[in-house]
Homo-oligomer: A and B are copies of this chain.
């Protein structure tokens, strides 16, 4: 479900409402800070889009991005 193109690994998540969406974002934030790998992400109401690449590698998709994507997919929502 993650799509890799233009040197970005991206996925859009839909929730029932803003409370669910922001609860999910908080879990992603905790992982992002823990693994020191921060997404570019957008939110409006019940929709969260996450884009990952690795700045230190020249803004390309690396194993770090796939790792964080896997961790995000394991978040219980």
Q: Can you tell how many copies of this chain the complex includes?
A: 4
Shortest A54–chain B CB gap in Å is: 13
Is chain A's binding surface mostly helix, strand, loop or mixed?
helix
B-chain residues with CB within 8 Å of residue A25 when the two chains form the complex: 25
B-chain residues with CB within 8 Å of residue A24 when the two chains form the complex: 23
B-chain residues with CB within 8 Å of residue A30 when the two chains form the complex: 18-19, 22-23, 29-30, 33
Cβ of A43 under 8 Å from chain B: yes
B41, B44, B75: the one within 8 Å of A19 (CB) = B75
The 7 closest A-B pairs by CB, nearest first: A23-B27, A40-B44, A26-B26, A42-B42, A30-B33, A22-B29, A38-B45
- A residues sitting closer than 8 Å to B (CB atoms) are 16, 18-20, 22-27, 29-34, 38-45, 75-77
